[in-house]
Amino acid sequence: MRLECLSAPSGVPAPGEVARAVTDVDGRVRPLGSRDLPVGRYRLTVDTATYFADTGQVGFYPEVSVTFAIDDPAQHYHVPLLLSPYAFSTYRGS
């Protein structure tokens, strides 16, 4: 999983990679620390090809990217990705 900043006020953080993580055995990424991300647009990219290969499956989507906006840095943001070999969905969780 890779988290990138696409745009933020005054360039903080500068556009580019913010974090990188690997899912645990439950398929989750634990919180990326206690820092708040500033208001801005972000992209979360998940390497699904590796997941499918590791689980002996063939998938249609080699990666999934989700672009989202943070409008209140004090809020909690949880972005679940529900994945099957030929479909995916995502939503803002609580």
In this prediction, residue 12 carries a pLDDT of: 65
Q: Can you read off the two tokens belonging to residue 77?
A: 């943001």
Say if pTM beats, i.e. exceeds, 0.75: yes
User: Structural domains in the chain?
Assistant: 2-24+38-90 (2.60.40.180)
Question: Residue 13 in contact with residue 39, Cβ under 8 Å?
Answer: no
Element holding 22 (H helix, E strand)? none
Q: Can you read off the two tokens belonging to residue 29?
A: 């990424």
Average pLDDT of the segment spanning 41-61: 94
Higher pLDDT, 29 or 69: 69
